[in-house]
Structure 1
Amino acid sequence: MIEFLLALLVFLAAHSIPARPAVRSRFVAALGERPYLVLYSLLSIGLLAWLISAAVRAPVTPLWPTSLFTYYLALALMLPANWLLIGGLLTPNPVSISFRRRSFDPTRPGLVAVTRHPVLWGFALWALLHTIANGDLVSLIMFGGLLLFSLAGMRLLDRRRRRQLGEGEWRRLRESGRRWSAAQLLTTFGGGTLFYFAALHLHPLWGPDVGALLF
């Protein structure tokens, strides 16, 4: 349990401290924006893997009964969650988390027309579904904490980007079109679906074989 709480603390700190504009600007100035995003993404994945590994090995304290329904609910809704996660990371987004910001086309915003924060909504949905499906204390602390962290992050990013961009540019971006490019459709739905089935295949490494419920 001590390792789990330490991993959770480090994970949250790694996603709070670098988010500060002054800290992020120093890293970007030293590394360049794209290398910084790649390294930060690798760090995030590594810390998340450590957090999940520590959670799996922590003592289990059941809080509510789970059932096949909660597993099937997670299986069904994790597909759109992956669309949000993968599509959000690969779609240019000037106001939220994305691997691409500067090539945003307001006439073809793609997934950004659905929500300004697709990655955070996908992460929040992932956390909520796993909280419900697991039903134990460690899962409630970990996934519930990540859910609140994602929801708070949306409000924080909105305030920060609105201040940085100015009211006129903020409104222009919010009133962008609804069109999708073929590449955006492919990366969001194709890439998200591929990632979904890859996660199902690898799920037994860190949790139950939920993919067996489908096949």
Structure 2
Amino acid sequence: MQILILGLALWWVSHLFKRVAPGARARMGVMPGKMLVTVLSLAAIGLMVIGYRRAGFEPVYTPMAGMGHLNNLLMLIAVFLMGVPHSKGIVKSKLRHPMLTGVAVWSVGHLLVNGDVASLVLFGGIGIWAVLSMVLINSQESWTPPARGRLKSDVIGLAIALVVYAVIAGIHIWLGRNPFLGTYG
């Protein structure tokens, strides 16, 4: 569990550094700052994966029957939202923080189907980070929505999201965590 918590802490520090210490981050320069965040993020992900896989199963609650279906829908939505900033669709003009919203949706979906301590730490911790990030950004920066895009771009984004979702599901199955088997009673 300590490795998981260390990875989560490293994720928070690397991603909130710009928001809580903007002067220090600015002094680093754009590329060195981005490189530092990238390296720390990769290390954080590695630690979180290792820590989560090593954590023993300590149940806190039993997920409700049927939540696997809702989780899978939420995961598709989360994957779609992660790609929205790279599109020129309608959704981009409506959501200020599509990627962070996608992370929050991902977090909630995983908490619906995982009721153990390690899952609460990992998914809850990342979800709280996403919400906190949105609050900090909103308090520090104004937002002008981009021009309304085309529905065609959102449809293409959804098609790409389906492919990425299939790859992610395949990786989960390969790792022994089939997303299509849990809490479907």
TM-score range, shorter chain: 0.7 to 0.9
Residue in 2 that maps onto 1:55: 52
Cα 1:29–1:138 change in 2 (3 A) is: closer
Q: CA deviation at 1:46?
A: 4.6
Task: Give TM-score scaled by structure 1 length.
Answer: 0.72
Residue in 1 that maps onto 2:160: 191
The sequence identity of aligned pairs, in percent, is 23
Residue in 1 that maps onto 2:117: 137
Cα 1:26–1:197 change in 2 (3 A) is: farther
- Alignment partner for residue 149 of structure 1, among 116, 123, 129? 129
Report the residue type matching 1:76 in the other structure: L
- Alignment partner for residue 180 of structure 1, among 150, 158, 165? 150
Unaligned runs of 5+ in 2: none
Residue in 1 that maps onto 2:3: 3
Unaligned runs of 5+ in 1: 92-107, 163-169
Q: CA deviation at 1:183?
A: 4.8
Residue in 1 that maps onto 2:80: 83
CA distance in 2 between counterparts of 1:138 and 1:71 reads 18
- The answer on 1:202 being equivalent to 2:171 is yes
Higher relative contact order (CA 8 A, sep 6+): 2
Cα 1:75–1:196 change in 2 (3 A) is: same
Cα 1:184–1:124 change in 2 (3 A) is: same
Secondary structure of the structure 2 residue equivalent to 1:210: coil
Query: Residues 91-139 of structure 1, C-alpha deviation per residue, up to 9 Å, x if partnerless?
Result: 4xxxxxxxxxxxxxxxx66432221000000000101111121101111
Report the residue type matching 1:47 in the other structure: A
Q: CA deviation at 1:21?
A: 2.5
Residue in 1 that maps onto 2:12: 12
Residue in 2 that maps onto 1:119: 99
Question: For this pair of structures, how many residues does the alignment match?
Answer: 182
